[in-house]
Structure 1
Amino acid sequence: MRFSTELFLANTQALFEVDEILAYQLRKLQTPYNFTIKQDETGLNFINKQGVKLYENPMEKTIQDLAFFKENYSKYPILFFYGFGNGLLYKLLAENEKHKHIIIFESELEILALAFHFIDFTQELRNEKLILFYTPNLTGVQLDILLHQVVKSYVKTYDLNIHSDFYADFYSEQIKSLNTQITSYICNFVLKTGNDPKDSMEGIEHTIQNVPKMLTHGIFQEFLKQRKSKVKTAIIVATGPSLTKQLPLLKQYANKAAIFCADSSYPILAKNNIKPDYVLSLERGALTSEFFNNNFGAFDKDILFILASVVHKNTLKYLERKKCSYMIVSRILPFSVSLKLKEFGYLGVGFSVANMIFELCTALRFENILLIGQDLAYGEDGYSHTKDYQNLNIHKGHYERDFGKFTTTAYGGQGQVESSLVWTMFRQRFEEDIFYAKHKLEIQTYNCTEGGARIEGAIEMPFKEACETLLDEELKKPFEGAKILDSKKARKKLMQTQEKIQNGIIQAQKFIERVKIELKKLETELKKQEVDEENLKSIRQKLLVHFEKIKKLRLFNELLIPLYFHEECEVLRYEVLKDLEQEKKLKVFLEHLGSWFVEILAYLDTQNQGLKKFIEKWNFDDMDLEITTKG
């Protein structure tokens, strides 16, 4: 290996294609570096200003490490390391085709730069076989994206390997902090996949019930076309403890911005005679419907209520009783997507209704989005919501009691505030969306809450200053309504949807019967006093084939995905074991996998029965009447 400026330029150019910021930082480095190079018969070494070497014997260490990882990690699709060193180990590990990604965190730009002068990493960087992070640049958003897009089901094989004693000696605190941060994000990522099949089934049933109403009300994609880029600024009204102090200003500037509010904020705004343009609702529980169980008379005129497809039937009942204008939008959940009603979706990727509203505001391409009442933390009095919140007593201490207490940086960056795991998930979603909105859509987000938790990426600005700076034009309200589908097309779409679901039920039933045959063989084999290892291996292979085929079912959806995800993590953890370890644990693994299949088939059968029941209740004769009365 020889020092090559051309190689450094080639490596940084390859890196530029996947990480512009890091590539630019490496190109900007001024020489001479703080690290010096030593290359002799022991290999390539770097030495810091204190005279400490990265390795005692570089080549010997690389040979030892390579043997260790070949012995213990050869089947791992994802490997994590702290410290890039001279890079030779990663170049050699990348030759293993089973390693899909080698993720490396480095705290010294100069170490990366020096290694880039000696070894060609261009191919490994371009195909993301090597994924590099410079730790001072690292954000929670990047970690979350990494887990979603790269690590996914391999979270249970996570292990942060330290490249050399040099890093353990000089960066022990950074390593501990990084490991804590990654494991925290893994926990949150696992939670985000869900673990409550009952909750998922409820959402699927509500969606099925709401499909006829969806088809006879506003068309979401047409609504986006009508309203996109028509107004510069949106205000999102949530119900955090700080909301009350912002209401007088909101009322003053109500006609100079598009006002979006959460279902829980709607009664509060009505009480203060502040008419929102849009009210959104996301939750599937009956309690959330009670925000609409009221009679505000003329106040409701010209408000568009935008409902996620999973909402409880009472929400629709209350809005229809009041003759309110509403539109139902599919969430981008697998079941809704399988119905292929694209013009009526998709919205509600996030975890809270406020996340849903932010997503809608970005789809409508506002230039500025202002957040108020978005505390995501307890107030000083211990309450989770503003004093006018309808269910205040129900929620006092609720998040802390059910999900544990968290602390996070306070609004303004000074001190800490009490938060919760759920609010942390909401906040992290906001931070991802704000990052995307700014860098991809050139939308600026202002956090005008003036309290609660800091939301990274949002500009913190007093609400008064934001109003005076950004809201300078009276808007023509009410805004245009949403187009409605022709009655014949609506009826045809409902019939097509029914057929899709029926076909999915038939496919799922055939799958259940096929898997039951293998489970019977497994049960018979496990009952034998002398277990036949070859028979077990054959059954394992067939069950794993069925395990993969589950994902191809039309009805593989949010009911099954969390159950599948958690088991897939276990399967992958077994698959990366050394051959001898796999053989030792084969029986236990199959007992566990068999039990899981029994559970999943029961859920699949329950889903089949539930879907049959609800589509049989669809009344096609009511379609014309519904469109006539609501159109």
Structure 2
Amino acid sequence: MTIYEKNLRALRSQNPNLYNKLSKITTNSKFEVFANGSLSDANIVDLTDHQPLYEATPRKETESILKSLDRYRLYPALYFYGMGNGYLYKRLFDNRFLKTVYIFEPELELIYVALNLTDLSNEINSDKIVLFHTEDVTSGSLMGSIKGQDIIHFKGYTLHLHSNFYEKYRDDILRVNKEVTKLFSYQINATGNDITDELLGLEHFIQNLPTMLKNPTLHELTQKGKITDSAVIVATGPSLAKQLPILKEIQDYVTIISVDASLPILEKEGIKPDIVTSIERIALTGKFYEKTSKAFQKDIVFALTAIVDQELLDNIKAGQLQLSMRPTGNHYYFMELDEWGYIGIGMSAANMAYELASKIGFENIILIGQDLAYGKDGSSHAKDHIFGEDEVKHNDQKDDYIEAYGGEGKVKTTWVWKLFLSGYENVIQVNNQNTKIVTINATEGGARIRGTKEIPFREVAKKYIRKDRKKEKIKLDSYDDATIEALLKKSDEKITHALTLGYNMQKSATKMLKEITQIIRKYQKYDISDIHRYAKEKETKKVVDKIAKVRNKYYGGEFESFYGLLISPLITHLEYDIAYWSIQPERSQRERIHKNWRMIVFHHEWCMRVTTALESIIKVIEAKKPILEKEVAHYSEEEALV
């Protein structure tokens, strides 16, 4: 097997789209290779302008680059614009601290050439090297490729230029850099800094566990939900009203998946959805269901996340409940219940609806009312929205302008809607690369959603909707009582174990906080810039080593699985600072003491936040666990009577 064949085989699973592109190349025509006696010293010349990739000999330039990167020695990830001949990326992993290199190359043929010259198959197979053709790079496509542990080091991010040759791609460099930083920004905004929502979600989840288990699984819905070839997702943007007459005409021939906010509007228009999605944990969402009649709710599948409020559940008067776990840490902890998971990676009911339609496997997924922007009249929502057409108020300081539907100028949006937009584009990108699903944006207004086909709804109704037979109702089955009882018992055991994990971590973090407080008080009278004159390296390192043990306990295994996401809003922004300082140089005793001291000070705050969060989380679990215990006891009593 040739070097190229080995590299291509490795790339097939990492980046199928790039693999397919490279598979079509049989030879290089734009670039000429000069081997210079060895493949690692090969130079490459652009035949269009006769510019060599390396000005000096490639080996010398590689050594020069490696030397210049010494200050990044502790960085776990590096980002490069330019593939070069590939040899640099083989050498970079001589550094044991480096775990991943992300390479962005604008010329497909240069990727082809480099993969013929340098064997990077092991590095690609192990995801040490992650390779991108820059024309495919968007923040959405990067989301599944740049690892979470590398995103947390975003404060140290630099996009390195492989060589001066790549300076002529300046506009593309700026665009790629913008997409990478956009991904980082999305992650930061998505995290937030308040655990109130997480606590509310946990409270609702434990309370809703029995209801979830007594009703059909998400797997059941994805297997039986495809009652037509096409699905229409009905969001509540300002453009919705003009599409409703068309939807009413075709409602018998398409699967209608409505977001909760559109439900009262659809009842008023005489349009019955097949599935309704809800993702929010707040009680106010229940108003959408309160405003609809029992007769209208009949036969609808209410696909809800398991963190919804009890008021919402109480307002569902008919139809079929189906609760699901979200793809988050404390839900993944319940792996035994994975048939009820996982959905809701996006941040809106519409994101969830699209994700559900994708899992069901509709051939065509059609979006209407998905403006993600203010209407031309300044409205934020559709006509007859129960909270008003201007529910979201304009904020000129925070609002932004993005590309409009059809590429026709710009539209005004909010940072929240931009998060929803990213959520859409991320899943659409995956669908476009890995499935035959066609996503059509028939909103005819609002923001452009990249990856969709923009087609007027009337045209969609004519070309994509089969009208040879009417759809049937979705019918789902639940598990028998014996299975439900077993799952309830297992869930109760898992929550009991989670409490034990919480108690143990609370004890460890409290003990660590006391030790950190002691050393900070010892040196608090000194200026931090002079700390190296007073604190001893051995003394500070001893404390930092103890901190590392507590962190390993926190981030290793089951504790993080259950508690990680619950606590993350309080510590993630602090972790960005910790991550940045952890990769700074420590070439002298002074640098080592200052670095240790930074870690000590940061972790004083870290321990306080962890213990505070755990106190609140444990209170919620202790308060809601009896609900689950009562259900287990109820099933046991019924079994005894039988």
TM-score using structure 1 length: 0.89
The 5 Å alignment of 1:116-135 reads 116-135=115-134
Structure 1: distance between partners of 2:29 and 2:480: 72
Provide, for residues 16-50 of structure 1, a one-character-per-residue CA deviation record: whole Å limited to 9, x for no partner: 55445445545626554355648499964444444
Match of 2:330 among 317, 331, 335: 335
Where does residue 462 of structure 2 map in the other structure?
A: 468
Would the alpha carbon gap of residues 224 and 295 (structure 1) be closer, same or farther in structure 2, given more than 3 Å must change?
closer
Q: CA deviation at 1:269?
A: 0.3
Q: Which amino acid aligns with 2:206?
A: I
Is the contact made by 1:220 and 1:482 (CA closer than 8 Å) also made in structure 2? no
The 5 Å alignment of 1:101-500 reads 101-148=100-147, 151-168=150-167, 170-225=168-223, 227-319=224-316, 322-339=317-334, 340-392=336-388, 395-397=391-393, 400=395, 404-473=398-467, 479-500=473-494
Structure 2: distance between partners of 1:305 and 1:9: 49
Match of 1:573 among 564, 580, 587: 580
Q: CA deviation at 1:190?
A: 2.3
Gap regions ≥5 residues in structure 2: 524-533
Provide, for residues 504-526 of structure 1, a one-character-per-residue CA deviation record: whole Å limited to 9, x for no partner: 11221122112322221222222
Q: CA deviation at 1:105?
A: 1.8
More deviation, 44-53/257-266: 44-53
Name the SS for the 1:392 alignment partner.
coil
Would the alpha carbon gap of residues 605 and 120 (structure 1) be closer, same or farther in structure 2, given more than 3 Å must change?
same
Structure 2: distance between partners of 1:9 and 1:498: 51
Structure 1: distance between partners of 2:433 and 2:175: 28
Q: CA deviation at 1:440?
A: 3.0
Where does residue 547 of structure 2 map in the other structure?
A: 543
More deviation, 112-121/72-81: 112-121
Q: Which amino acid aligns with 1:358?
A: Y
Name the SS for the 1:455 alignment partner.
coil
Structure 1: distance between partners of 2:239 and 2:584: 52
Name the SS for the 1:326 alignment partner.
strand
Is the contact made by 2:31 and 2:110 (CA closer than 8 Å) also made in structure 1? no
Name the SS for the 1:147 alignment partner.
coil
Provide, for residues 35-80 of structure 1, a one-character-per-residue CA deviation record: whole Å limited to 9, x for no partner: 56484999644444444443432344332221121x2112211111
More deviation, 575-584/365-374: 575-584
Q: Which amino acid aligns with 1:307?
A: L
Q: CA deviation at 1:265?
A: 0.3
TM-score using structure 2 length: 0.88
Would the alpha carbon gap of residues 12 and 261 (structure 1) be closer, same or farther in structure 2, given more than 3 Å must change?
closer
Q: Which amino acid aligns with 1:437?
A: N
Provide, for residues 204-245 of structure 1, a one-character-per-residue CA deviation record: whole Å limited to 9, x for no partner: 1111222232233334333433x1544212111111111100
Q: CA deviation at 1:129?
A: 2.8
Structure 2: distance between partners of 1:401 and 1:608: 41
Where does residue 66 of structure 2 map in the other structure?
A: 66
Q: CA deviation at 1:607?
A: 0.6
Q: CA deviation at 1:289?
A: 1.4
Is the contact made by 1:255 and 1:474 (CA closer than 8 Å) also made in structure 2? no
Structure 2: distance between partners of 1:297 and 1:32: 68
Provide, for residues 252-310 of structure 1, a one-character-per-residue CA deviation record: whole Å limited to 9, x for no partner: 11111111101000000011111111222111112211111235252222222222111
Provide, for residues 443-474 of structure 1, a one-character-per-residue CA deviation record: whole Å limited to 9, x for no partner: 22221111112222222222112122232336
Q: CA deviation at 1:604?
A: 0.7
Structure 1: distance between partners of 2:318 and 2:13: 54
Where does residue 590 of structure 1 map in the other structure?
A: 600
Is the contact made by 1:43 and 1:57 (CA closer than 8 Å) also made in structure 2? no
Structure 2: distance between partners of 1:110 and 1:474: 48
Is the contact made by 2:509 and 2:610 (CA closer than 8 Å) also made in structure 1? no
Where does residue 566 of structure 2 map in the other structure?
A: 559
Name the SS for the 1:343 alignment partner.
helix
Structure 1: distance between partners of 2:478 and 2:33: 70
Q: CA deviation at 1:476?
A: 5.3
Q: CA deviation at 1:612?
A: 0.6
Name the SS for the 1:556 alignment partner.
helix
Structure 2: distance between partners of 1:304 and 1:7: 53
Provide, for residues 326-385 of structure 1, a one-character-per-residue CA deviation record: whole Å limited to 9, x for no partner: 232222322233244333333222211011111221222222211111111211111121
Q: Which amino acid aligns with 1:280?
A: T
Structure 2: distance between partners of 1:126 and 1:603: 39
Is the contact made by 1:334 and 1:557 (CA closer than 8 Å) also made in structure 2? yes
Is the contact made by 2:218 and 2:322 (CA closer than 8 Å) also made in structure 1? yes
Name the SS for the 2:273 alignment partner.
coil
Where does residue 97 of structure 1 map in the other structure?
A: 96
Would the alpha carbon gap of residues 377 and 491 (structure 1) be closer, same or farther in structure 2, given more than 3 Å must change?
same
Name the SS for the 1:264 alignment partner.
helix
Is the contact made by 2:28 and 2:109 (CA closer than 8 Å) also made in structure 1? no
Structure 1: distance between partners of 2:209 and 2:158: 45
What RMSD in Å do the two structures reach over aligned CA positions?
3.0
Where does residue 526 of structure 2 map in the other structure?
A: none
Would the alpha carbon gap of residues 300 and 14 (structure 1) be closer, same or farther in structure 2, given more than 3 Å must change?
closer
Gap regions ≥5 residues in structure 1: none
